[in-house]
Amino acid sequence: MKKLTNFSISDAWYGRFLSLPGITFVFLLIVLPVIFLIVLSFLRYNFVSPVAFVGFKNFSRIFSDRLLTHALKTTGIYTFGVTGISLIFALTISYGLHRLGQRRFSTLYRTLAILPFAVPLVLSGLIWRWLLDPAIGVMNYLFIQITPFSEPINIFGNSTIALLGVILADAWIKIPFMTIFILAAMDGINQNLYEAAAIDGATPVTKFLHITLPLSRNGIIYGILITAMFSFRTIDAIWSMTRGGPGKATYHIGIYILDRMLSLMNLGQAAVIGIIVFVCISCFSAAMIAWMKRD
């Protein structure tokens, strides 16, 4: 009893005890599903034949499927496009809000900047599908009014530019999310640095390149990392706009998993694709974190 009552917060066992709920939650939410995914990838699980161990047969069939290469390529372009557009706009918005400081209506501007983040991704896809609709879409109407073209652009019927439409819809949601990270990093910069730079005759561009941008690097990297991860594994906007079409022009790796799992009813092969997604995201995350901790 004496040992139990006379403890110190710095004791190692006390820290482990407090970590138990978090460790249990991580195990149930992440580790256990990953183990189940790996086990499932070695099974024949198709709701037709009896469940059986097939070794690397599922891996062989997926890696020999040409759709895997196409899905990974499309997903890579989609992820790069969403992350790139989100980064450009988030940097611009964050810097503007940061320069605004605590001036009048600054809180209102910050609220409006992150407001699109409250819209669900599926709803965002439906909104952008209506905006880009060739018959009743506002975007096509404005395009015809301000350009010499008299015909609307059918983005969802054109395999060349269909991917651009879903990228815009997803980026519209991701921009406020990345803005939160970058703006938090910018607001943490010591204002004395700007005052010292101004005394030395630094221009606003010089301040941004040599003070704001370097000292916001961690926030930018976190924003890029999380945005890229979500874009690589979520298909909400694509599913509500094109469902992988036209002609598999927007065939995301997530839709590839759904096809194997729901259309072909082959959970073993779907698990293999899930492992590929997990490995790709893990490698990218490890590289970004290593770069962030390099200095």
The residue with tokens 């407001």 is 115
- Characterize 52-81 residue by residue with b for buried, 16 or more Cβ atoms within 10 angstroms of its Cβ, and e for exposed: eebeeebbebbeeeeebeebbebbeebbeb
Domain ranges in the chain are 1-41, 59-292
For every residue of 111-129, DSSP letters joined together read: HHHHGGGGS-HHHHHHHHH
- Structure tokens belonging to residue 74: 């499309």
Which CATH code for domain 59-292?
1.10.3720.10
Does the pLDDT at position 6 exceed 80?
no
Quote the mean pLDDT of the chain: 88
DSSP letter, residue 6: S
Convert the pLDDT of each residue in 211-269 to its tens digit: 999 999 989 999 999 999 999 988 988 998 998 988 899 999 999 999 999 888 999 99
